[in-house]
Amino acid sequence: MFREIINPMRWFRRSGSGDHNRESCEGQAARAEYPDEPALQSVGKLDATVKTYSRRMMPPFTGQLQVAESGDARALSIDGKNWEIQFRFAANAVNTRPDTRNPDKQRGKYTDIASITPAGLVRQPLHPIFDTETVTRAIEQLSAWISDSGLPYPAIDRLEYWLLDQSEGKPLALLYSCISAEEIGAPSARPTWMAMPAAQLSIEDSADHRTSYVPPVNARLESLIAERAGPSPRAAWFDRAETMSTEFPPCLISEDWEQEEHDRLCQLYIRRLAPRLLMLQGLAREDRQRLEQACRENALDVDRFHQLYPEFSDQKLLKALRVEAKLRLSVEPVAS
């Protein structure tokens, strides 16, 4: 249902091997799969209140995932318009031994039970292990909450893992973020920053007129950042709530480049990513304003993600971009 080829649910997976370049750090709880063990049971737990928050989806960064949780049910959205509602299986009742290294595994795995789109609610076929009444109440509770609650939800992934510049040791590019220290696994042997793939984020480079093949801007920027990180790249964790003395790149990658061509590639990538970067909370006003101006050529993305923007200073521009997007969609609908 999401217009992302990259599955947004994979940002809820945890790397058991410590290879943070393949999976992020929240856990494998969101894998929509049925368990093989017959001992698994449905939990049937709902909370009286709903907990709402958001976190960055990475690697690579593609936006701010919105989460509404109630007991063993949760709803996830990457645009505020389309939601997946999931329910969690209970942990194996026979295995009562706590798994302190992987609490998500102990609590059980999630599976899709419904989806919400602008067209309405669609329920998924339920595995026989689920209690229909409990699942129905979960769907009703989260659906009602989503329709009444304001977006975006507060960001709580304050722990950040940054690739460091080889020469100065300063934050170079954000690799991923976590909500709590329990999510942090073993450090990666070779931390590597990844750009959003060209297949999902096409970037035009008008300065390139060569007839031979040239890698896309995304891949070239990846190489530049890897070069700055050096042959033995290092990364470090920072708690943004407690780290005041370190300067962090507002757009999640360093914009300080000595060569003009390198700076050009960096700015091309940031400008194309701007409709997603505007979902970040805590941006300085000047950074938000320049990202808003960079969105002029990407009206469709702005129309898709605008509900998750904490603010948009130029409301006249926002309105114009949304009108443009609606006109374009009426002629050439974007596949969902």
Between residues 213 and 253, which one has the greater pLDDT?
A: 253
Whether the CA torsion 261, 264, 268, 270 is positive or negative: it is positive
pLDDT surpassing 50 at residue 182: yes
The Cα angle at residue 155 between residues 150 and 158, in degrees rounded to 5? 170
Same domain, 313 and 199: yes
Same domain, 103 and 168: no
The position carrying tokens 């690739």 is 163
pLDDT surpassing 90 at residue 31: no
Q: ω before 8 within 30° of 0 (cis)?
A: no
For the segment 270-293, what is each residue's pLDDT rounded down to a tens digit? 999 999 999 999 999 999 999 999
pLDDT surpassing 90 at residue 327: yes
The string over 29-63, giving b where at least 16 C-beta atoms fall within 10 Å of a residue's C-beta and e elsewhere, is bbeeeeeeeeebebbbebeeebebbbbbbbbbbbb
Cα–Cα distance measured from residue 9 to residue 110, given in angstroms and rounded to the nearest whole number: 10
Same domain, 188 and 136: no
Same domain, 28 and 167: no
pLDDT surpassing 50 at residue 65: yes
Residue 110 lies in a domain: yes
Q: Which of 91, 123, 148 is the last residue of a domain?
A: 148
Enclosing domain of residue 144? 8-148
* Lookup: tokens for 247: 């300067």
Q: Which of 112, 129, 148 is the last residue of a domain?
A: 148
**pLDDT-above-90 percentage for the chain:** 65
Same domain, 75 and 193: no
Same domain, 198 and 133: no
Same domain, 187 and 323: yes
Same domain, 142 and 176: no
Same domain, 57 and 192: no
Q: Number of folded domains in the chain?
A: 2
DSSP assignment string, 36-74 = S-TT--B-----SS-EEEEEEETTTT-EEEEEEEETTEE
Q: Which of 87, 113, 148 is the last residue of a domain?
A: 148
Neighbour order of strands in the sheet with 110-117? 51-57, 63-70, 73-77, 83-88, 110-117, 120-123
Same domain, 259 and 202: yes
Q: Which helix (H) or strand (E) holds 88?
A: strand 83-88
**pLDDT-above-70 percentage for the chain:** 78
Residue 154 lies in a domain: no
Residue 166 lies in a domain: yes
Residue 3 lies in a domain: no
Same domain, 94 and 168: no
